[in-house]
Structure 1
Amino acid sequence: MREKDVTIDLSYLQDLASDNKDFMVEMIDVFLLQTPNYLAVLEEGVVSKNFKTIADASHKIKPTLTFMGVASAKETITEMESWARKEENYEGILNDFNSLKEVFKTIYVKLEEKKSEFLAND
């Protein structure tokens, strides 16, 4: 997965929020605030080759990607979690993580843009 391939589909969040723009902005803010912390824990796990930490952090990130409609990143993080739970394919985990770090930068930018759109249309 490359950062240019990142697509954000907020339809799940819109359904959940019944199109309440304030709620959607709040959920985007929570994502933007919490996800970097989860990624930092994931990075600690990857650097230390701690499969349990990798699996647990991946598991925490997964639902946030569902809410924000980033299916491609969710697939990658699910793959990482699966490998970590089986304690296998560290190289694959490392490659996926390095890719995800760049992808998340794009996700953050796109979500900030969506948030601005919601606030402008209030």
Structure 2
Amino acid sequence: MRMFDKRLAQHGEYFGQGVTLPNSGTKALDGGPACLSGAAGGTGVTIHCKTAVAIPTGKKLQLIIEDCDTKGGTFKESCSVTFHKGTYAAGEHLGEVVLPSQAKKFVRGKLVSDGNCTGTVDVYPYLTR
């Protein structure tokens, strides 16, 4: 078992739990925005497979992280990670992105698929150090 399969949610916060992957299009994660002020550069966002996940050949799934200085302000993309074809078992770690050191106070996420991705995931911040 790899160590990162056991990452714990920071302060029990989730960007999304049991989120069904978008078949095509964008799905905003409803657990944010999270106030991660002062933790940027030492905080990552991980995707953990709640059920089996499949990304078909020629398709992709992206986790896009957005940030803003205020909770109700205009959020802009600060970083992202792209996943290509593959199958992942329930309980596996799909991947992660580390927040840039200049990330703003409030952070939220969304999943974007260009088609036929299946499964459910948990998305949450964790301390990288």
TM-score with structure 2 length normalisation? 0.26
Larger relative contact order (Cα-Cα within 8 Å, sequence gap ≥ 6):
2
Question: If the length of structure 1 is used for normalisation, what is the TM-score?
Answer: 0.27
Bigger share in strand: 2
Structure with more helix by fraction: 1
Q: Greater CA radius of gyration, 1 or 2?
A: 1
